[in-house]
Homo-oligomer: A and B are copies of this chain.
């Protein structure tokens, strides 16, 4: 089930996206199933624009996916759901992805 080991950039993006209490609650709320933005905002007690921003951040990291749908009565509603990610975070795992981090070639030894 483990799709593929993430690259350094991907892991960093995921960790950054999850390093926020609001976004953890969003993922927690979506763990059961998909939900649309306005209702999710009411459930979580946050403003729509704020939720929108956090969802963008989570989607950019590949942690959630959004899909715009049209209900029977013609309303446009955007449903989000959590992707089935699974990260194992250990010192050893981090050590292995460090070489794939961006600008990891930056810390060159003293070439002077």
Interface, chain A (partner B; CB < 8 A)? 8, 11-12, 14-16, 18-21, 24-25, 27-32, 42-46, 82-92, 94-98, 101-104, 106-109
Residues of B within 8 A of A107 (CB): 25, 43-46
Give the residue name and chain of the B residue nearest to A106 (CB): B45
| In the bound complex, CA of A98 to CA of B18 (Å) | 12
Q: Give the oligomeric copy count.
A: 2
| In the bound complex, CA of A102 to CA of B20 (Å) | 12
Q: Which of B12, B86, B91 contacts A30 (CB 8 A)?
A: B91
| In the bound complex, CA of A33 to CA of B50 (Å) | 42
Residues of B within 8 A of A85 (CB): 89-91
Residues of B within 8 A of A86 (CB): 88-90
